[in-house]
A and B are shown apart, each in its own frame.
Chain A
Amino acid sequence: MSEINTTKEMKATLSTPTKPKLSLGKRLGFTILYLILGVVAIFQIYPLVWLFMFSLKSNQEVFGLSPFALPQDPQWANYAKAWTQGNISLYFFNSVWITVVAVVLTVILASFVTFAITRMYWKLNKLVLGLFMVGLMIPIHSTLIPLFDFYNKLNLIDNPISIILSYTAFNLPLTIMILLGFYQTLPREIEEAAVMDGCSIHRIFFQITLPMTAPVISTTVIINMIYNWNEFVFVNTFISSDKWKTLTVGIQNFIGQYLTDWGAIGATLMISIVPILVAFLLLSNRIVEGIAAGSVKG
């Protein structure tokens, strides 16, 4: 995290004196490198630009003109159509609140567990941690039928509780893994002093530890947010009525009905993508860090 920055600064100071003037060959080399990186960047970004363009086209343009042509007369009506006719506003709302509830639940529960594992003394803590970590390797599809049956028996099929609980259970392992790395580097002295002062464990957790872990909590919140916002299988399996569908399944349905209306499809996809893109623009450093932390520490 901050280490990356310091090494970068160090690198800058180290490298400037050793690089007086670039030879022609070196400059050519750098040009080729930039060219390669640029091509990769275009490959990554252009499909989204193209999506935005066809989301503003009418069907005549899509089927009659080159797919690379700019929209002649931007059809913002496509967005209005997707938002109103496709129930997209409802799906959007469901995605938001289900994501928020699941993220809060996951991060709180994971913080409790990580606190107990790293700060408290008990015998089975290694075993419990192991259970959570092995959970990372278990494929969702191997749990799907029993989960469906379980929720069915509890009358929770077609009830958002089923997806919120599933999101929480399946995201706990990764969340705990990210939290763990941070908790282990966090000094214990403050907590120990609080114990000496007769502070209760709950107060220590909520008023000392939790605020101190704010940076890593924001990382886990973002990672969870992205996963839940984009989740498909659980909603597709456990939810059947439009009332509770989220955006991923909702857009899938909408597109099934409007197969040939490229403009409306493009607009729907854009609507589902934009919140994540905005979050990314605002928080890209945290997201990048979260992803790096999430896997490198494995």
Chain B
Amino acid sequence: MKNVMSNKTVIALYVLPALLLILVLVYVPIVLTGYYGLMDWDGIGKMKFIGLENYIDLLKDKMFWSSTYHSFQLAIFSTISLLLYLVISLVLASKIKGSDLLRKIYLIPMLLSSVAIAQLWLKIFDPNNGMINSLLEMMGVENAPVWLADPNVVLYAIFIPIIWQYAGFYIIIYYAALKNVPEELVEAARIDGANPVQIAYKIKLPLIAGVFKVTIVLAIVGSLKYFDLIWVMTGGGPNGASEVMASYMYSEAFKSYNFGYGSAIGFALLVICLIMTWFIRKLTAANDNNNQF
């Protein structure tokens, strides 16, 4: 048995193709991006080694810091909205007829491409013919915001389609976790006279804490990487008001052809994502009594 199942040639044959792909296309590039960050390079011509100059510039670059700040703002919004999704899931998972159908309806936006979502919401936010301002006008609101064109509003406006896109995803996850809570526990608590809020707070939530932590990581790291929707809706504008780390990296590299500087931003993005992952896990591992994590 063991002999057949430890045939080295077969193992290599089965593992190497995928391993090579991920090494060459994921791991080698993240090392290279750090290395290219040491170069002055336009992507086509020769690279010129300039040491840490790009990284030092990065630390002094206001645009980099404001894009990082915007990314973290999105991460915070996303984390807070998890609570909303959790409440909806709690309601959905408690004796609600039609919860299957509702869950599926909630999920639909998640299946669409960010490009399609962005284009649709560009129309919804359109100040003249869009859905939102027409609705506000019908309600008698004067001077409705111009949403994506207003630097003070744009980041909040963009967060609405983000909620729209991801709500169903998190609700599905929480719902699945809540359905795995043993019914006997809930029933026992009910017989003891606990009300639904107490049951949710004292029994259900502690039991799905592990899943909740996973979703915090997903929401935060996902927000820090966020790109498609913002790129299509605003391109980081107006005036950098919705620039995030990934969009800043992309414009520097593929619009301004600063491949060296773009690589430095890409490397900073990687480091920030990995640190955040480690940090959240550390933070949430303190009183972790299940190894979901």
Chain A residues proximal to chain B, CB less than 8 Å:
3-4, 7-8, 10-11, 14-15, 18, 33-34, 36-37, 40-41, 43-45, 47-48, 50-51, 54, 62-63, 66-68, 109-110, 112-113, 115-117, 119-122, 128, 131-132, 135, 137-150, 165-166, 168-170, 172-173, 176, 192, 195-196, 201-202, 205, 226, 229-233, 237, 247-249, 251-252, 255, 262, 265-266, 269, 272-273, 276-277, 280, 284, 287-288, 291-292, 295-296, 298
Contact = CB atoms under 8 A, between A and B. Distances in A.
A247 B119 CA distance: 13
The 3 closest A-B pairs by CB, nearest first: A230-B113, A292-B176, A143-B29
A226 B116 contact: no
A147 B114 contact: no
Secondary structure dominating the interface of A = helix
B172 A139 contact: no
B178 to A, nearest CB: 10
A283 to B, nearest CB: 11
Contacts, number: 289
A135 B267 CA distance: 15
Contacts of B60: none
Contacts of B168: 44
Interface of B: 1-2, 4-8, 10-11, 13-15, 17-19, 21-30, 32-33, 36, 43, 88, 91-92, 95-96, 102-116, 119-121, 123-124, 128-131, 134, 164, 167-169, 172-173, 175-177, 179-180, 183, 187, 190, 211, 214-215, 218, 221, 224-225, 227-228, 231-232, 245-246, 249-250, 253-254, 259, 262-263, 266-267, 269-270, 273-274, 277, 292-293
Contacts of B277: 137
Given A122-B8, A138-B270, 18 more contacts: A11-B183, A18-B187, A112-B14, A120-B5, A137-B273, A137-B277, A142-B273, A144-B266, A145-B263, A147-B29, A251-B119, A272-B113, A280-B111, A287-B111, A288-B107, A291-B169, A292-B176, A298-B293
Nearest to B160: A43
Given A37-B91, A262-B129, A113 B274 contact: no
A273 B112 contact: yes
Contact of B190 (A18, A119, A120, A273): A18
Nearest to A222: B111
Given A68-B134, A269-B120, A120 B179 contact: no
Given A37-B91, A233-B228, A273-B116, A63 B129 contact: yes
B165 to A, nearest CB: 10
A69 B131 CA distance: 11
18 contacts: A10-B183, A37-B92, A40-B88, A41-B102, A48-B109, A68-B131, A120-B11, A137-B277, A138-B26, A139-B221, A142-B30, A145-B29, A166-B25, A226-B111, A230-B114, A232-B231, A273-B116, A276-B112
Contacts of A135: 22, 26-27
B114 A169 contact: no
Contacts of B24: 150, 169
B267 to A, nearest CB: 6
A99 to B, nearest CB: 12
Contacts of B274: 137
B29 A146 contact: yes
Nearest to A141: B246
A41 B105 contact: yes
A33 B113 contact: no
Given A37-B91, A226-B111, A116 B11 contact: yes
Contacts of A62: 129
Of listed B13, B131, B164, B292, residue having the most chain A CB within 10 A: B131
